[in-house]
């Protein structure tokens, strides 16, 4: 999945704590041209961690990128993420509209007015 010419669209899922600056992380990933778009959704997560059931507010990130960028995105996300074991799930997109596809694989240079994200 890490071929330099692999322009298949994928969605990477990860979560951040409710207090993390998910928008700053998204802007960093876009500025570094690792992703085309990030959707941020509030949610509640229930899971077992170290033998105890946890129930926490989090933010789900839907990160749109290409298969060719997954490995570099994983490396960068692990550098920025605060969780001990961050979620990193890659979902292949089997189809998209022809009008949408170019916006997901183009990765044009883009800058934000806000400073770069720090560890999330």
| Whether the predicted pLDDT of 114 surpasses 50 | yes
More confident residue, 83 or 119: 83
Assigned domain for 62 exists: yes
pTM across the whole model: 0.83
More confident residue, 105 or 55: 55
DSSP single-letter state for residue 71: H
Query: Alpha-carbon distance 79 to 93, whole Å?
Result: 26
Assigned domain for 44 exists: yes
> Domain range for residue 24?
9-105
Assigned domain for 74 exists: yes
Assigned domain for 19 exists: yes
Q: How many residues appear in the chain?
A: 120
More confident residue, 109 or 8: 8
Assigned domain for 34 exists: yes
Query: Alpha-carbon distance 55 to 26, whole Å?
Result: 25
Q: What is the pLDDT of residues 55-100, one digit of tens each?
A: 999 999 999 999 999 999 999 999 999 999 999 999 999 988 887 7
Q: What pLDDT shows up at residue 3?
A: 43
Q: What is the mean pLDDT of residues 5-31?
A: 93
Assigned domain for 1 exists: no
Q: What pLDDT shows up at residue 101?
A: 75
Here the CATH number for the domain that contains residue 62 is 3.30.70.120
Assigned domain for 2 exists: no
Q: Phi and psi dihedrals of 47, rounded to 5?
A: -160, 165
Assigned domain for 120 exists: no
Looking at the 3D structure of the chain, how many domains does it have? 1
More confident residue, 112 or 73: 73
| Whether the predicted pLDDT of 1 surpasses 60 | no
């Amino acid at each position: 999945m890490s071929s330099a010419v692999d322009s298949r669209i994928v969605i990477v899922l990860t979560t951040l704590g409710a207090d993390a600056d998910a928008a700053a992380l998204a802007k960093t990933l876009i500025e570094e041209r690792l992703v085309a778009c990030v959707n941020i959704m509030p949610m509640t997560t229930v899971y077992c961690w170290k033998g105890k059931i946890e129930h926490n507010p989090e933010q789900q990130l839907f990160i749109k990128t290409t298969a060719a960028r997954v490995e570099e995105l994983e490396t960068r996300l692990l550098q920025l993420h605060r969780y001990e074991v961050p979620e990193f799930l890659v979902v292949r997109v089997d189809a998209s509209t022809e009008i949408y596809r170019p916006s997901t694989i183009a990765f044009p240079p883009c800058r934000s007015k806000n400073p770069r994200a720090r560890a999330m």
